[in-house]
Structure 1
Amino acid sequence: MARTKEFDPDAVLHRAMELFWARGYEATTMADLVEHLGIGRASIYATFGGKRDLYLKAYDRYVELGVDWAGLLSQPGPVLPAVRALVERFAADATGPGAERGCLVVNTAVELVPHDAAAARRVAANWDFVEATLTSALTRAAAQGELAADRNPRALARFVLTVLQGMRVVGKGADDPARLRDAAATALSVLD
């Protein structure tokens, strides 16, 4: 008869996500995971697989809990105020509490994508989704007359995505919030 787990796998996965987000993949050892998660190595392997499997599951959890792009950008009415609020939110978050952790998607792109195909697929899927959501919103903005007819919604979406992700990188080491506020303001001026 199988033993009943003496821990909540969802809670443990969340704690693993927090640890990987704070330290990164390479800097987090199995000993760190055992200590931080409060469960044995065998339980980690039996429930989540190895360290890499656990990392990818933690990444997936991070994306699930992250920004509700579709919800924010598909509201009826004007679109550009929602896009502006999103850019301003990223600038504020990138200098707020926990900013030194950055974004787990960006951290994964920098640390694992060059040599891990599964991580690369996940990051690409995330950025493709964000780009498609932004493109759809900006296409709607153009149809509503919020953008000039000669503006390319897809190119603008790619630009906004790149700025948002860049703000997360700069925010990891930024000690000057004005740097990100200025970047956000300049990015928003492109939408005018």
Structure 2
Amino acid sequence: MARTKEFDPDAALQSALELFWRKGYEATSMADLVEHLGIGRASLYATYGNKRDLYLKALDRYSEARAPGLTRELSRPGPALPAVRALVRRFAEESADEAYRPRGCLVTNTAAELAPHDPGAARRVELSWGHTETLLHAALLRAQAQGELAGDRDPRALARMLLVLMQGLRVVGKASDDPARVRDAAEQALALLD
């Protein structure tokens, strides 16, 4: 007869996500995970696979938790451009916040740390970025159709520019002590929507 798990796999995955988010993939050892989660190494391997598998599951959870909020923000009825502006400003404010800075964004962190040499991580980063770009593009198309955005603007190119800006805000915000740097960059980019 199979043994019953003596821990909550869902809670343990959330706890692993928090540890990876705080320390990064490379700096988190299996010993760190065993200690932080209070779960034996054999149980960790049996439930999640190796450290990379656990990290990718944690990254999936992170992305899945954030996707509905982003969709809600950019898909509300009414004027679309204010929602786009609010999202970019939120990214800037979060990136400039001292409490946020040590962890940053797990997707952005993964892009910098793992994506260049890990196809599974790169695929997840691309899915997250693709989702954000698609939502921005749809919002900008709506803004254009509603007369909020000039007809000669390219909504796809603007969505890509905003995605790159937002990811850049995450990187610079994590490393910079100057909150004006990310706020000013966001405002200059938003001026391109006028």
Contact 1:80/1:141 (8 A) holds in 2: yes
Does the Cα contact within 8 Å between 2:48 and 2:54 map onto a contact in 1? Answer: yes
State the partner residue of 1:165: 167
Q: Tell me, yes or no, if structure 1 residue 114 matches structure 2 residue 144.
A: no
Q: Which residue of 2 aligns with 1:92?
A: 93
Secondary structure at 1:101's aligned position in 2?
A: coil
Measure how far apart 1:102 and its partner are: 1.2
Counterpart residue number, 1:3: 3
Instruction: Kindly indicate whether the alpha-carbon contact (under 8 Å) linking 2:144 and 2:150 is maintained by their aligned counterparts in 1.
Output: yes
- The equivalent of 2:156 in structure 1 is 154
TM-score, normalisation: structure 1 = 0.97
Contact 2:16 2:33 in 1 (8 A): yes
TM-score of the superposition, structure 2-length normalised?
Answer: 0.96
Could you tell me the percent identity over the aligned residues?
Answer: 67
Counterpart of 2:76 in structure 1 is: 75
Give yes or no for contact 1:100–1:171 (8 Å, CA) kept in 2.
no
Partner of 1:63: 63
Amino acid across the alignment from 1:176 = D
Where in structure 2 are there 5+ consecutive unaligned residues? none
For 2:172 and 2:134, locate their aligned partners in 1 and report how far apart those are by CA, in whole Å. Answer: 24
Give the drift of 1:98: 2.6
Q: Segments of 4+ in structure 1 off by > 4 A?
A: none
Partner of 2:59, secondary structure, is: helix
Aligned residue type for 2:180: A
User: What is the aligned counterpart of 2:127 among 125, 128, 131?
Assistant: 125
Structure 1: distance between partners of 2:100 and 2:183: 17
**Contact in 1 for aligned 2:96/2:183 (Cα 8 Å):** no
* Alignment check: 8 A CA contact 2:115 2:121 kept: yes
- Runs of at least 5 residues in structure 1 that lack an aligned partner in the other structure: none
Match of 1:27 in 2: 27
CA RMSD of superposed structures (Å):
0.9
Q: What are the superposed Cα offsets for residues 129-171 of structure 1, whole Å, 9 maximum, x if unpaired?
A: 1111110110010000000010000000000000100000011
d(CA) in 1 for partners of 2:175, 2:114 = 20
CA distance in 2, matches of 1:37, 1:157: 39
CA deviations over 1:94-132 (Å, ceiling 9, x no partner) = 122132211111111111111111111111111111111
In structure 1, the residue corresponding to 2:138 is in which secondary structure?
A: helix
Q: Is contact 1:113–1:120 with CA below 8 Å preserved after alignment? A: yes
Please list the CA deviations of residues 31-61 of structure 1 after superposition, one character each: whole Å capped at 9, or x if unmatched: 0100111111011101111000000000001
Distance 1:84 1:36 in 2: 39
Aligned residues: 192
- In structure 1, the residue matched to 2:48 is 48
Q: Deviation of residue 7 (structure 1)?
A: 1.1
CA distance, structure 2, for counterparts of residue 19 and residue 64 of structure 1: 18
2:187 maps to a residue whose letter is A
